Amino acid sequence: MGICRPQALRAAFLTLLAALACVACTRHHGNPRRPAAPAPQREDGGAPGAHRSIRPSAGVKLPEIAPRPSRPDPYGGTLHVHLEAEPPHLNPLEDQLQVIQRVVGNLVYETLIECRENQYRPGLAESWEVSADGERITVKLRSGARWHDDRVVSGVDVQATFELLLRAGGRQSLLHAMLEEVEGVDVLPERAARFRLRRPSDLVLRALCEIPILPAEILRKTGSALTQSGRQPVGTGPFRFASWEHGKRIRLVRSRPAERPQPPFLDEIVFEIDGDGSRALVRTRRGEIDILPHVLDVLYPDQVAPATLRDSLELWWLTPDRYSFIVPNHRRGPLGDARFRQALSLLWDRARFADEVHHDLARPIGAPTFAQAPPDPFDRTQAIALLEAAGFRDSDGDGVRDVGGVPIRLTLLLPSGARSLTAEARGFALDLRRAGLLLDTVAVDAGNLQARLDRGDFDLATLTWDGRRDEDPRLLFASQGQLNFIGYRSEHLQSLLEQVRLAPGPSARVPALQRVGEWLASERPVIFLYRHDVSALVAKRVHGLAGVGDRLDLRSVWVDP
């Protein structure tokens, strides 16, 4: 989700860094027309389907709940999915890495509740009840739920999972932050558990959609025994861990006998580990891989043109809630002035860069993806007017604006090897210079960028956040959130965040989140740049794929023989 002190931000930043580093800026010549697919499902309604061969701006999306099988007996078969890196382990509580979540999320491990279609749905918990004062949440576990080693799931497992996170810091900091209102967890009879809250917050239910439940027996292990358990996970999901050939593949098999007509339908899912995105594309074309969740930007669109896919593959566009932004250090000079930040925002030519650099896989935004706000257009004239009105003028006639006779010179930190971002930064620097501001760009590796943000040694830096459509915005924007290193404080924003906390359910949170987004768009504590789309390849033999954004749900997938 970006990079700063918390591990969660660092993990997602490294994902973006890998993607950005391989993007060339001169590869694309014009925008290819994406042929329309029949009956895509759109955000404003329409027939169901996945977003295939259609522009990301059209707003198509994966179905959140898989359609029913179209053939009478879809059972059996193996699905091969590309995994872009080898996971360090498979314990989703220890590290919140996408490469771990992709293997075990909702397949091996389950959450108590699922957030789908803007509502809460049963997961490992078949029901839940909130007390009248809002300070107790009681969950009842699914009848017959067992771990893959056949032990019965109990409230002790729920208590052990959450108490680990309540005590945690460091790498579990994001999950810990989700539980801000949770005081403790009690074990109740009849396979139930009770969450005690310090104050009412529906966002605790939202957190239960994100946190997988692990066996208490595993969580109590230490040393090498705990490490080994992270390599042989035992969960409650529809698939169980079978084997791990390091550097090659991770294999999951169906955890229970087929119960027609209920999923899972597959016999097994094999995650093919391959760090070479070009080679993975070749393997997908050969039929060795059924799902390539992310086509490298450097390979798009030339290497995935319809003529190269033949009749066996389809090109899909996934729309995650992943967005990039610039963080200004509010403690440094003019960056604490909202008018100065707005001028900077007006000088980043999002529309041009989205076309020339990102090849239509980035969409300009003016707010986080949980809200709608128009992006700032490129407007040098208005930016100069704002700088003049705020008192940032060229007092000595040397062409550079100054404060107290000192020229305004900013430094923008960039991740090393991010060629597309470097190209954008060069264009940004030129437009700043024409407006009377100086900008130096400094490429740093992830560790040094982390350290400089920690100690406040920066003016501007580029980050990304792997958000959720119905996320808790406090995780990022509260005074003690993940961006607390920028020095921004706002009582009005805090009051808006409280409205989000008190909103009774996902639907009621929508307008509260919109108000938060509108405030962030007007104040610009950070400068929002793009929402990043992802192109994926899916074999036509694959059916029943669902998910949100680029988080694919494989539970109801079935394949042609």
The pLDDT value recorded for residue 240 is: 97
Cβ proximity of 534 and 515 under 8 Å: no
What ranges do the domains of the chain cover? 72-108+237-320+534-561, 109-229, 322-532
CA distances 432 to 203, 327, 364, 410, 524, Å, are 41, 17, 19, 10, 18
Burial class (CB in 10 A: 0-12, 13-18, 19+), 528: buried
* Residues in contact with 522: Cβ distance below 8 Å, sequence separation at least 6, in sequence order: none
The angle at the Cα of 252, spanning 250 to 253, to the nearest 5 degrees, equals 150
Between CA 513 and CA 496 the distance in angstroms is 8
Is pTM, for the whole model, over 0.85? yes
Cβ proximity of 219 and 164 under 8 Å: yes
Given phi > 0 = left and psi -120 to 50 = alpha, else beta, which region is 198? alpha
Cβ proximity of 122 and 142 under 8 Å: yes
Return the amino acid letter for 372: Q
Q: Which of 473, 360, 396 is nearest to 58 (CA)?
A: 360
The pLDDT value recorded for residue 496 is: 97
Cβ proximity of 296 and 277 under 8 Å: yes
Beta strands in 223-379 (DSSP E): 239-245, 249-254, 268-273, 291-292, 313-318, 322-328, 362-364
CA distances 275 to 399, 504, 545, Å, are 48, 43, 24
Between CA 374 and CA 388 the distance in angstroms is 24
Bridge partners (DSSP) listed for residue 547: 552
261 preceded by cis ω (within 30°)? yes
Place of tokens 């620097």: 429
Cβ proximity of 183 and 194 under 8 Å: no
H helices of 303-418, in order, are 306-309, 338-346, 350-356, 380-389
116 token code pair: 């789908």
Q: Which of 210, 528, 203, 202 is nearest to 372 (CA)?
A: 528
Q: Crossing angle of helices 491-502/506-523, nearest 10°?
A: 170
User: What's the alpha-carbon Rg for the chain, to the nearest Å?
Assistant: 24
Question: Is 322-532 the same fold as 72-108+237-320+534-561?
Answer: no
Between CA 529 and CA 342 the distance in angstroms is 13
H helices of 360-502, in order, are 380-389, 419-434, 446-454, 474-477, 491-502
Between CA 482 and CA 58 the distance in angstroms is 32
Q: Which CATH architecture describes the domain 72-108+237-320+534-561? A: 3-Layer(aba) Sandwich (3.40)
CB atoms within 10 A of CB 60: 23
Place of tokens 């699905």: 79
Cβ proximity of 53 and 38 under 8 Å: no
Map residue 234 onto helix, strand or coil: coil
Sign of the CA dihedral running 548, 552, 555, 561: positive
- Per-position pLDDT tens, the chain of length 561: 333 333 344 434 433 443 333 333 333 333 333 333 333 333 333 333 343 443 443 334 678 888 888 888 898 999 999 999 999 999 999 888 899 999 999 999 999 999 988 899 999 999 999 999 999 999 999 999 999 999 999 999 999 999 999 987 655 578 889 999 999 999 999 899 999 999 999 999 999 999 999 999 999 887 777 778 889 999 999 999 999 999 999 999 999 877 777 899 999 999 999 999 999 999 999 999 999 999 988 888 888 887 788 789 998 888 899 999 999 999 998 999 999 999 999 999 999 999 988 888 899 999 999 999 999 999 999 999 999 999 999 999 999 999 989 999 999 999 988 888 999 999 999 999 999 999 999 999 988 998 999 899 999 999 999 988 899 999 999 988 889 899 999 999 999 999 999 999 999 999 999 999 999 999 999 999 999 999 999 999 999 999 988 899 999 999 998
Map residue 512 onto helix, strand or coil: helix
Q: Which of 296, 307, 301, 303 is nearest to 360 (CA)?
A: 301
* Residues in contact with 287: Cβ distance below 8 Å, sequence separation at least 6, in sequence order: 312, 539
Q: 322-532 falls under which CATH superfamily? A: Dipeptide-binding Protein; Domain 3 (3.10.105.10)
The pLDDT value recorded for residue 230 is: 87
Between CA 400 and CA 300 the distance in angstroms is 40
Element (H, E) at 173: helix 173-178
* Residues in contact with 457: Cβ distance below 8 Å, sequence separation at least 6, in sequence order: 451
The pLDDT value recorded for residue 169 is: 60
Place of tokens 């009005």: 492
CATH class of 109-229: alpha beta
